[in-house]
Structure 1
Amino acid sequence: MKVLSIDTSNYALGVALLDGDQVIGEYITNIKKNHSVRVMPAIEALMNDCDVKPHDLSKIVVAKGPGSYTGVRIGVTIAKTLAWTLNIPLVGVSSLEVLAASAGRYFEGAISPLFDARRGQIYTSLYQFKEGKTVALKKDQLLLAEDWAMELKEQSEKVLFVGNDVHLHRTTFEKALGNQAVFAEITEQNPRPAELALLGRDKEAEDVHSFVPNYIRLAEAEANWIKANKEKIRK
């Protein structure tokens, strides 16, 4: 089984090819460039380098959010188009779960992957590895970093914080949790597309047409429109 994974849900861009139990190719960048322009050439280059043709693929796995609204849409749209065109299964995986799996596989404690959501807020969740698999202890959510720190303080085990945005909130976690807070190294902050492929490899396929991203919250423009048109919607 050859699996193509795609992650454009946040700042880092990643694509990978998994063939059975072997990672045959992986491409990651963490630079400020347009995902919409770069992701298809990245997929094409990786497949060419690995001598994989589109008809060789057995499944598409995509990071479905949360994260950047535009980034999530790009990855999901491309994944749906490829899956539909090639008539192969599509699977979506939480972008936070991918990040947790990328850094916490051998961490004996809880793992809190996070993305900055501005205004002191973060997208986060809590995972733990059990028998080699990620187990969600808390669902993906959007909340203030300060509130998350207080919530984590109630449990005794150490918590590994991972993600390129951790440094924005590190002081908050250190102040609230002290030695209970552990921070991933810089080489572990990028979500690995190979982990995404592995997470989705054995998951049940989803309906291509009804598959949608997990934004957790509405885009600001959408929220403002709903607020401005609340009375019209009620009618």
Structure 2
Amino acid sequence: MKILSVSTATNHLSVALNDGQQVIVEKNEQDERNHSEHLDPLIDEILKDNNLTLKDIDRFAVAIGPGSYTGLRIGITTVKMFASILSKEVVGISTLQALAKGVKEEALVITGLDARNNNYFAAGYLSRDVQQNVIPDGHYNIDVLIKAIQEYVAKNEVKKIVFVGSGLKKQDEKIKSLGIPYEYGTDEQNVIHAGLIGQLAENAIPVDPDKLLPRYLRRTQAEVDWHKKTGKPFEPDSHYVEEV
């Protein structure tokens, strides 16, 4: 199965072509503002280098969040358009799960993206042959995240924790208080790789392109302001958690 995968969730842009679990090619760019300009040329380059067209792709995959609001929309809109026009399969993959996929050793993997003010988009995964999400994807204050880790550790045998993503090293004192051997991810592990998204996508359940939505895990400021102004309830078709 040929899978074309995309991540525009962070300032790291990644595009990959997979043949099932095999990553044929992955191209990455560190580009904070121009994903909309660089995504299509990267896709075109990968296809041309492998003598393929979009019609040859069996399944499209994309990181659906959490992440940058604008960035997520760029990647999701692109693959939705491809899948809809070409009548191809499309799947969305958790950004945090894709980060966890990069850790190969057996450990509790805490994936996090810095959401400022000691808040993180974070989750906990067991890095085994079949990943298990043991701390749900969510928007956590660091103290709440540490408590969630403590509760999991108290009920399960955990020999090691690996922290991957962004902004977690500055919480080293709180992490140290867990009393469990830990380490931080390498530069390579701390970014989202489209090739790993492709591997996760092989066995994921395809969705209708129209139903592929970003998972922000936090309300946008515009939505908060709109709710305060109008008093109307928030729309039900997005995934949110309580503000912290």
How does the TM-score come out when normalised to structure 2? 0.87
Aligned to 2:217: 216
1:140 maps onto 2:137 in alignment: yes
Give the fraction of aligned pairs with identical amino acids, expressed as a percent: 29
1:43 is paired with a residue whose SS is helix
- One-letter identity of the residue aligned with 1:24: I
Distance of 1:97 and 1:200 partners within structure 2: 11
1:160 maps onto 2:162 in alignment: yes
Q: Determine if contact 2:161/2:180 at 8 Å carries over to the other structure.
A: no
Q: Determine if contact 1:4/1:197 at 8 Å carries over to the other structure.
A: yes
> Where does the alignment leave 5 or more consecutive residues of structure 2 unmatched?
235-244
> Where does the alignment leave 5 or more consecutive residues of structure 1 unmatched?
none
Deviates more, 1:80-89 or 1:153-162: 153-162
Aligned to 2:120: 122
Deviations 1:80-108 (A, max 9, x none): 00111111011001000000001x222x2
Distance of 2:170 and 2:29 partners within structure 1: 20
- One-letter identity of the residue aligned with 1:137: V
Deviation, structure 1 residue 142 = 0.5
Deviates more, 1:56-65 or 1:139-148: 139-148
- One-letter identity of the residue aligned with 2:166: N
Deviation, structure 1 residue 178 = 4.4
Distance of 1:138 and 1:164 partners within structure 2: 18
Paired residues for 1:96-107 under 5 Å: 96-102=96-102, 104-106=103-105
Deviation, structure 1 residue 21 = 3.9
1:185 is paired with a residue whose SS is coil
2:178 is paired with a residue whose SS is helix
Distance of 1:169 and 1:47 partners within structure 2: 41
Paired residues for 1:1-235 under 5 Å: 1-102=1-102, 104-106=103-105, 108-130=106-128, 132-154=129-151, 155=153, 157=158, 158-174=160-176, 176-230=177-231
Q: Determine if contact 1:61/1:201 at 8 Å carries over to the other structure.
A: no
1:209 is paired with a residue whose SS is helix
Give the root-mean-square deviation of aligned CA atoms.
Answer: 1.8
Q: Determine if contact 2:112/2:163 at 8 Å carries over to the other structure.
A: yes
Q: Determine if contact 2:26/2:194 at 8 Å carries over to the other structure.
A: yes
- CA change 1:233–1:97 in 2 (3 A) is closer
Aligned to 2:237: none
- One-letter identity of the residue aligned with 2:146: A
- One-letter identity of the residue aligned with 1:114: G
Deviation, structure 1 residue 164 = 3.2
Distance of 1:123 and 1:140 partners within structure 2: 7
Deviations 1:126-152 (A, max 9, x none): 10133x121111210101112212331
Deviation, structure 1 residue 213 = 0.9
Moved over 4 A (4+): none
Q: Determine if contact 2:20/2:199 at 8 Å carries over to the other structure.
A: no
Deviation, structure 1 residue 233 = 6.0
How many residue pairs get aligned? The number is 229
